[in-house]
Amino acid sequence: MQFLTFIAFTVLVGVISYLATRKTKESTSDGYFLGGRSLTAVVIAGSLLLTNLSTEQIVGLNGSAYQNGLSVMVWETLAAIAMVVTALFLLPRYLKGGLTTIPGFLEKRYDTSTKTLTSILFLSGYVVVLLPVILYSGSLAISGMFDVPKLLNISHDQSIWICVWGIGIIGAIYAVFGGLKAVVVSDSINAIGLLIGGILIPFFGLLIIGDGDLLNGLSILTAENPEKFNSIGTKTDPVPFHTIFTGMMLVQLFYWGTNQQIIQRALGAKDLKEGQKGLLLASFIKILGPIIVVLPGLIAYHIFEGNLENVDSAYPMLVKEVLPSSFVGFFAAVLFGAILSSFNSVLNSSVTLFGIDIYKQHINKNAEEKTVVKYGKIFGIFLAIASMFIAPLIAKAGSLFDYLQEINGIYSIPILTIIVVGYLTKRVPAIAAKIGLASGCLLYIISQFILQPYFVSNALESAKNSGITDKAGLALVEAQAYPHFLDIMAILFVLNIIIMLIIGKIKPREIAYVEHYTEQVDITPWKYVKQVSIAICVIVISIYIYFA
């Protein structure tokens, strides 16, 4: 019965997506890559949320909350402010320029080679980091939820291969053959299911704690675990409080404002009003995100009395403990939708970047739009197949996922830097952007993968020689041995801006850059955008003050 419920909900999403997209003209670039520039606020918001939420975040962030408490909610709440900045500052400029890809702006502002370098950085991050990890982590969740090894009488490794290819093929069909509109429509439906299913977990968990009384359960949870309900992260927490004002905001701005995988949804808006409303709706819902990705971790800590050996098992164990069996099939389908969303969103963005910025620019400059879409799809199929072969191998890499997450910093801050400088200045030249990209990537690699291990290992060795052997003491020594990676990002961001401005002063562009309005969509802003933006910021600040 659980499996039938899973199949029924999954098929329903596919049928609705087909019916909603069958009239979209996907032979054109705008039709395929941007859904015909016809996306409305609700669809944009739903796709943004589900593209962001995936199994590694739902499981991983709840595991982090289980271990560290409420302070990890910063990944959700600060995202709301980043979306506000995007809606007010970046999106109007993107739509004014009629952008299909973010690197497309860099070509207009700097030159073609800057655009190509940035597209390659994006593609490298997606292919090497995101696609295989999404497939592998999603396959672990689905295989465990349905106990695939036992169901099919196969080994664990074989079940992972089957799930990887199942998720990969379905995701590729959505992303490669359906285009952006198929992706965002399926995302919107799954987002509703994810919100419902995600809220059910803490709902049933609090009922169990409160012996059938929801409010009593919440009261018991907060009263007996007060140390877990502090929004201010300590030095040894994954996100110390001070990093909110350094690199954390930069990471959020890159992710929500310049990351092709995310911002492509807003680029497909029918006009600026719908794009801004979509971003702000997603922003408001994001504030409620901790109910799904943080609160269950805190509930798990109380129910299991902090005795779980692996913190990442907190969420799966809680689901198994509190969710009635009649809901398991539906919840599995929702998680499957979250996995698919992340996979097909990254894949669709990769196809877009290749088709527009690589194929059209360097392989066949005279290609018709239909040809660009065709070869973009071929590249997408190749990419999907490659990621399906790579994904199961991640099992042999141990803690590779955590390692890969840090690798994202190699390209995120350099790209954000050249975009910000590009919009805020008029005469900084293309050579400054190239140097900014190169220096940002190189300095981050030196900092995080050469200097940090050196300083941390020396500090831990000295601490042990001094008689410090307890886990908490060593964690504090490690935290103080080298700046947090978010602080490093902020330092490099400022340094790169200074380097680019100095170059711009020494060798400025001969002609000042002027952004032209392409008139592809109406860029009249939503009349309530400022009021709603202020309200969202006030809510976020109030939440921090309340839980401080």
End-to-end CA distance of the chain: 45
CB neighbours (10 Å) of residue 106? 26
Output the CA torsion sign for 428, 430, 433, 438. Answer: negative
Write down the pLDDT at residue 313: 72
Which alpha helices (H) appear in 97-177, and where do they start and end?
102-109, 112-124, 131-146, 148-152, 156-172
Res 183: pLDDT: 59
pLDDT at 408: 81
Low-confidence ranges of the chain (pLDDT < 50): 26-35, 180, 398-401
Check residue 17 and give its pLDDT: 58
Task: Give pLDDT tens digits for 1-45.
Answer: 556 666 666 666 666 655 655 555 544 444 444 445 668 898 888
Closest CA to 308 of 296, 326, 290: 296
- In 3D space, the residue among 539, 544, 542, 537 whose CA is nearest the CA of residue 83 turns out to be 537
Burial class (CB in 10 A: 0-12, 13-18, 19+), 416: buried
pLDDT score at 1: 56
pLDDT for residue 29: 47
pLDDT at 133: 78
Q: 503-514 b/e with 16+ CB inside 10 Å = b?
A: bbeeeebeeeee
Quick one: DSSP state of residue 24? S
**Residue partners of 120: CB distance under 8 A and separation at least 6:** 358
Q: Which domains does the chain have, with CATH numbers?
A: 2-397+526-547 (1.20.1730.10), 410-516 (no CATH)
